[in-house]
Structures are given as structure tokens and as C-alpha cells.
Amino acid sequence: MKRFNKTFDWRFWILMPIFGILFPYVINLTKLTANFKIIVLLFIVNMIFSVIAGRFLRHTGAFWVLLLVWPIVFLISVWLHINSMFYGYYLALLYLILEVFAFTSGQEEELDIDKQIPVDGGFSEV
């Protein structure tokens, strides 16, 4: 239950709709060029948020299924026609990939490799 409570931190769940739906909507209301909107908002800001979300989920020990939430929130903005369908699906996939990389980074090595018991000859007595 403690793992479940740590995962549902309000900052994580409030920031996703802000970065996925509200921020693109507000940016679309401005007179900025489309290239600036795509590069700054969708590439730089949302990619950084994807990495932060993946690291947050790893830090809290969250279930890996929660990695799908941020791309789904972004897909909701595509379905609401806030972001273009032309590139929205690909960006949602890219955000998922970045989250998975951030979630799994640093897990390549065993931290307790020195404490392991060698089993070359097998266990004779336990």
C-alpha cells in the first residue's frame, strides 16, 4: 500500500494534464510560428518532462504500467485536436520510449555483486 501511495503523488498527476493538454492549448492561442511551437513545446519541453516522469516513476518504485499514462494524456490532446494528428502519434511513441529509457537507466548492473555466493560447485549444505 505504501508503494501505491508514493506513486500517486499529486505533482506527477497534476503536471501531466498541464504539459499534455493545457500548455499546448495556451501555446496555440499565441501568435508564435508553428515551427517554434513544435520545436520548443513538443520537442524540448515535453521530452524533458518525459525523462523527468520516467525518473520519478523509477524513484518512487512505481509499476511499469504507469509509463503509459503520460503518452495517453498526450494522445488525448491529439484526439481533442489541440496537437496535430500528423505528428502527434509519433511524438506520443517517442515520449513513451524516452520514459522507458529514463525508467530503466542505471539498472544494467547488479549493485550487490560482491555479496553474492559463487555456485561453481553447487551448494553442498545450506
Give the CA distances from residue 5 to residues 11, 69, 102, 113, in Å, rounded to whole numbers and listed in that order: 13, 17, 21, 31
Q: At what angle do helices 69-79 and 85-104 cross, to 10 degrees?
A: 170
The number of distinct structural domains making up the chain is 1
Q: Within 10 A of 27 (CB to CB), how many other CB atoms are there? A: 18
User: Do the domain assignments include residue 27?
Assistant: yes
User: Do the domain assignments include residue 123?
Assistant: no
User: Do the domain assignments include residue 73?
Assistant: yes
Out of 23-27, 98-102, 108-112, pick the least confident: 108-112
**Banded pLDDT at 82 (limits 50, 70, 90):** confident
Amino acid type, 15: L
pLDDT value of residue 42: 82
- How is residue 51 written as a grid cell? 525523462
- How is residue 115 written as a grid cell? 555479496
Out of 83-87, 93-97, 119-123, pick the least confident: 119-123
Size (the chain), residues: 126
Average pLDDT over residues 14-31: 86
Please check the confidence at residue 93 and state whether its pLDDT lies above 90. Answer: yes
Q: Is the dihedral of CA 31, 33, 36, 37 positive or negative?
A: positive
**Banded pLDDT at 40 (limits 50, 70, 90):** confident
| Contact status, residue 55 vs residue 102, Cβ threshold 8 Å | yes
User: Do the domain assignments include residue 122?
Assistant: no
User: Do the domain assignments include residue 67?
Assistant: yes
Q: What range does the domain containing 41 cover?
A: 2-104
pTM above 0.85, yes or no: no
User: Do the domain assignments include residue 112?
Assistant: no
User: Do the domain assignments include residue 117?
Assistant: no
pLDDT value of residue 117: 59
